[in-house]
């Protein structure tokens, strides 16, 4: 019988408890990535150990090959972020918020480039500084990868395995010229597909979104008209027209449903990059149910995911500020010591 290492067993139990109690938690994402990372390190250790037992030189080559593979993966990811960032700017126009993916890719390549320079010059001083700088970067990077991984897994599972709900709430995302743009249309179509999935006991469909300063009508109303113009039964859709952000989308829709005597679970429909954060907000607001995602253009997705992760950090600002400050402290102390000893 295969015996799991103690750390793997603990993480597996923690992950199982977290998922079964309520999967809408960031800690679930962290447990999942920690478990996968531990398993990967175990496999790498066993592979290198087996190669080393056969021939010490083979063990060294195996370790080097795995290190090159890992570095190549990081470089490829950075390159992907840069390319999709440039594509986003070309197609959507310039905006600071659209530089996130491009900036992250350039930053990753820059950090790797600094390490190449340090290795080439054999500078132990700069190597120590880069290692300490890696602490806050590692903190943010681990959290982002966890959010990315579980943020893709959660809506996919809920879309397939989600149980029947009392209402489907489609979250708004902005109109263009008073019309429903493709991004929002994909959400509406996903909401309708979910409605059809539960056609034996059809839920109420809520289109949620207020009126922005550049919008002639509230998003919720335009979304409802988009549905009814396409043949959706008018009596099964209701528009929520007050909300200005995701939290209000969910809270005001819950109020609207409660006023109609609907208190059962809901399925919140948004784009796939946004679905996990919507689920986190549902849990914080005490709204039963789950969220599902609709497809997003590939060039748009990386920057959107980064923006959502920043929003999650902001939602837990005090805790993240403390932990990020603690991880930055050794690097700051090191910089001060260098300045003092110059």
Break the chain down into helix, strand, coil percent, rounded to 5. Answer: 70, 10, 20
Instruction: Quote the pLDDT of residue 200.
Output: 86
Q: What are phi and psi for residue 213, nearest 5 degrees? A: -65, -25
Neighbours of 48 (CB within 10 A): 19
Cα separation of 307 and 147, whole Å? Answer: 12
DSSP state of 1: -
Structure tokens at 284: 């914080």
Note the residue count of the chain: 342
* Whole-number Å distance between alpha carbons of 165 and 288: 10
Secondary structure element (H or E) that encloses residue 194, with its range = helix 182-197
Instruction: Supply the pLDDT for residue 4.
Output: 58
308 bridge partner residues: none
Q: Write the CA distances from 73 to 86, 108, 109, 301, integer angstroms.
A: 20, 12, 12, 19
φ and ψ at residue 255, rounded to 5 degrees: -65, -45
- pLDDT on residue 210: 93
- Nearest to 171, CA basis, from 181, 184, 152: 184
pLDDT, tens digit only, all 342 positions of the chain:
445 566 788 899 999 999 999 999 999 999 999 999 998 888 888 888 888 888 888 888 888 898 889 889 889 999 999 998 999 888 878 888 788 999 999 999 999 999 899 888 888 888 899 999 999 999 999 999 999 999 999 999 998 888 999 999 999 988 988 889 988 999 999 999 999 999 888 899 999 999 988 889 999 999 999 999 999 999 999 999 999 999 999 999 999 999 999 988 999 999 999 999 999 999 999 999 999 999 888 888 889 999 999 999 998 899 999 999 999 999 999 989 888 877
Sign of the CA dihedral with 152 first, then 156, 161, and 162 last: positive
Pair 281, 250: CB distance under 8 Å:
yes
CA atoms of 190 and 296, how far apart (whole Å):
12
Residue range 164-296 in CATH 3.40.50.620: yes
Q: Where are the domains of the chain?
A: 6-158, 164-296
Q: Which residue has the tokens 């409660």?
A: 258
Predicted confidence (pLDDT) per residue in 84-111, tens digit:
899 988 887 888 878 899 999 999 999 9
Q: Which two tokens stand for residue 36?
A: 């996968």
For residue 306, give the 3-state DSSP assignment: helix
pLDDT at 1: 44
With 0-12 / 13-18 / 19 or more C-beta atoms within 10 angstroms meaning exposed / middle / buried, residue 173 is buried
Q: Which string of b and e fits 67-90 if b means at least 16 CB within 10 Å?
A: eeeeeeeeeeebeebbebbebbbe
| Dihedral over alpha carbons 32, 145, 98, 73 (to 10 degrees) | -140
Output the pLDDT for position 176. 87
pLDDT for 34:
94
How far is 256 from 302, CA to CA, in rounded Å? Answer: 34
Q: How far is CA 315 from CA 181, 210, 245, in A?
A: 28, 22, 13
Q: pLDDT tens, 121-179?
A: 888 888 899 999 999 999 999 999 999 999 999 999 998 888 999 999 999 988 988 88
């Amino acid at each position: 019988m295969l015996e799991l290492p103690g750390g793997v067993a603990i993480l597996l139990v923690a992950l199982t408890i977290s998922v079964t109690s309520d999967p809408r938690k960031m800690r679930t994402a962290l447990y999942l990535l920690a478990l996968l990372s531990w398993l990967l390190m175990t496999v790498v250790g066993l592979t290198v150990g087996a190669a080393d037992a056969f021939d010490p030189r083979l063990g060294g080559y195996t370790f080097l090959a795995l290190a090159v593979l890992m570095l190549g993966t990081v470089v490829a990811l950075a390159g992907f972020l840069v390319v999709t960032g440039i594509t986003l700017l070309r197609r959507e126009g310039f905006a600071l918020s659209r530089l996130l993916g491009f900036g992250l890719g350039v930053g990753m390549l820059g950090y790797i480039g600094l390490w190449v320079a340090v290795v080439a010059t054999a500078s132990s001083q700069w190597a120590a500084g880069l290692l300490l700088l890696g602490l806050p970067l590692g903190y943010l990077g681990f959290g982002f990868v966890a959010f990315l991984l579980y943020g893709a897994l959660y809506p996919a599972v809920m879309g397939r395995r989600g149980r029947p709900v009392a209402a489907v709430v489609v979250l708004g995302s902005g109109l263009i010229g008073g019309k429903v743009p493709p991004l929002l249309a994909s959400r509406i179509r996903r909401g309708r597909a979910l409605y059809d999935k539960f056609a034996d006991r059809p839920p109420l469909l809520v289109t949620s979104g207020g009126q922005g300063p550049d919008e002639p009508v509230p998003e919720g109303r335009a979304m409802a008209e988009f549905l009814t113009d396409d043949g959706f039964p008018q009596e099964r859709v209701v528009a929520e027209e007050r909300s200005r952000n995701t939290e209000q989308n969910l809270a005001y829709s819950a109020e609207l449903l409660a006023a109609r005597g609907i208190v059962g679970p809901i399925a919140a429909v948004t784009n796939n990059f946004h679905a996990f954060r919507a689920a986190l907000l549902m849990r914080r607001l005490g709204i039963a149910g789950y969220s599902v995602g609709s497809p997003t253009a590939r060039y748009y997705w990386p920057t959107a995911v980064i923006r959502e992760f920043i929003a999650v950090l902001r939602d837990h600002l005090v805790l993240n500020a403390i932990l990020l400050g603690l991880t930055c402290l050794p690097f700051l102390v090191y910089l001060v010591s260098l300045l003092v000893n110059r």
